[in-house]
Amino acid sequence: MIFFQYLAELLKFACNYAGIIFSAAAVYLFAPQSILEALHISYSPHDYRDIAGFVFLISGCALLEKAWNTIKTSRSKAKSRKKVIKRLHALTPEEKDVLARYICFDTRTQRFDDRDGIVNGLIAAGILIRLSWYGSIVSGFDVNITDVAWEYLKNNPNLLR
């Protein structure tokens, strides 16, 4: 079991430094002998090119996977942002009143009753977010406005009229 935990940690490390490992293996495998000698790397009787080739392939795959995840995450964030902005253009008067409290008081956090349907609808739409479940029925629960909604409403206050 410890071996697999160690292997998982090693793979996390390798993914974080995949570009560096990939580049180093590529230099070792494909650079001319003169460059390798300038770097004080020379082929020895124990040639490690097969290991370097394996490292090159694995780190290349890790680099591709990291690039794919970065692209996927950025597309997901852009899609979510677009959805929130579209929803901000279709606010009801009650929702505008709730969001106006954030802008008028220039605060990112307000307290609301957790049974408030308007607030829960805005949370479901991704405009508001409840980061903490601490609170009470009497005093309410802290609800934050998301970064996308905050910036967009600050730049377009006419949406709350």
CB-CB contact of 103 with 95 (8 Å): no
Task: Tell me if 25 sits within 8 A of 56, measured CB to CB.
Answer: yes
Structural domains in the chain, sorted by start: 2-79 (no CATH), 89-160 (1.10.10)
**pLDDT tens by residue, 91-137:** 999 999 999 999 999 999 999 988 889 999 999 999 999 987 777 77
pLDDT, one tens digit per residue, over 3-57 is: 777 777 776 776 778 888 888 888 888 888 888 888 888 766 567 888 888 889 9
pTM for the complete prediction?
Answer: 0.69
The total number of residues written for the chain in this structure: 161
